[in-house]
Amino acid sequence: MKNKTKRVFWGFFYNGVREELRRGIKWRDMYLFTKTIITDDGMKALWDVDNLALTEARNEIIVQKGNIVVHMLGDIDFDDRQTREVIINRFFTDALFED
């Protein structure tokens, strides 16, 4: 039950960050820098993660696996196999042993 509670908490955290990206920044009762967020089930399967969302421009990604949530922004090809492997090895190696 403890691992399920952790997973729910990190899922909640992931959803909060995703919503912040979508909504943008509030300034003088207006939201600026809003972004269209998409989910890509094919990419999620390739990355082998619990949750994955991208901006429509595909230059920003938020990924959750186990108790690790990573948010990245940049001129990065997140579809590239080598890029994916580097990110997974760097950030998600510990997540493999959490369950």
Q: What is the mean pLDDT of residues 81-99?
A: 77
Q: How high is the pLDDT of residue 47?
A: 92
* Band of residue 80 on the pLDDT scale cut at 50, 70, 90: very high
| Helix/strand/coil percent split, the chain, to 5 | 45, 25, 30
Under DSSP, the state recorded for 26 is: E
Measured in degrees and rounded to the nearest 5, phi and psi for residue 26 equal: -90, 130
Determine the pLDDT at residue 64.
87
pLDDT (0 to 100) of residue 1: 44
pTM summary value: 0.66
pLDDT at 99: 46
Q: How far is CA 99 from CA 22, 58, 66, 83, in A?
A: 30, 30, 8, 25
In whole angstroms, give the CA distance from residue 63 to residue 95.
12
Give the per-residue pLDDT at 8. 53
